[in-house]
Amino acid sequence: MVSIKDISIRCGVSVATVSKALNNHSDISEATKSNIINVANEMGYYPNSFARALKTNRTYNIGVLFVDEAQSGLTHEYFANVLDSFKVEAESNGYDITFINKHMGVRKMSYYEHSKYRGVDGVVIACINFSDPEVLELINSDLPVVTIDHVFNNRTAIVSDNIKGMRDLITYIHDMGHRNIAYIHGADSSVTQNRVGSFYKSLSELNIKIPDEYVRSGVYHDADTTYHITKELLALKNRPTCIIFPDDFSCIGGINAIKDFGLSIPDDISIAGYDGVLLSQVLNPKLTTLKQDTKALGKFAAEKLIALIDNPKANIVEKVVVEGQLLYGESVKRI
């Protein structure tokens, strides 16, 4: 590995002068600085991360805590896209990414302990049980933290506008002539509460009252659970004309249940999803869904966390709301 000393010998200057050039100090000439940087690049020099950490008291490493209910990991397309955007923005600012967990080999440690063990400068938390005592320990710790899709009163949060998203979805389905609208929602969370609340409020504003059996509790990113609940809805004497599913992936279970009933989409029954992942637009028919802006969600999360790391004394707790976009698709029939 090329060292600062190697560069100083090549350039015929002191180690201190090389260090000043690489750190863009102003007390050396631009010509000397330019020459040293060019030589460093030619020699393939990279700064030693351990040395930089000792000097700056920072590791330029950000922790990511991501655990979803269905244990789908990074196969969960929505969160994979959010975290990919987060990663791109973090790396463009010189940061590496470390995933936080409860285990280091056979040793168990809390999320906070693992974060300290890895020496991360801050942590982003996404799709997690936010009432978990170990998550709360991290939220209330001395580490900079930004959350995605959950709001605490002491932490900056980046959230998708689930209230407007559900309202846009309901309004479109209503405009297509539907009045018997069912909703299979995900497990209890702030995201679910906002979507369910917006579902009922939007219907109320449209003077539509639906029976209680039309609203069912399911699981996000779980096609099997959605399959069984869809069959129950289809077996109702007065079955709905349109079913909204928890997300685009779980929608597959609903589609299979509808096919098993010998029904077709959208001629016999209409459906809609949520998230707007790639899968939704390659289905036949294309799924009507609410596309969440995963690129903006990830980018804002990285920007806010890095700003907090760079200047902790200027911390202002914010709630950044990101709007989505309705994808009309072909799965809702006009009746």
pTM of the shown model:
0.82
CATH of domain 4-47: 1.10.260.40
> Over the stretch 303-326, which tens digit does the pLDDT of each residue have?
999 999 999 888 899 999 999 999
| CATH 3.40.50.2300 placement within the chain | 61-159+295-323, 162-292
Amino acid letter for position 40: A
| Topology given in CATH for the domain delimited by 162-292 | Rossmann fold (3.40.50)
Pairing of strands 289-291, 325-327: antiparallel
How high is the pLDDT of residue 4?
86
pLDDT of residue 204 exceeding 90, the answer is: yes
Assigned CATH for 61-159+295-323: 3.40.50.2300
CATH 1.10.260.40: which residues of the chain?
A: 4-47
What mean pLDDT is predicted for residues 187-201?
A: 95
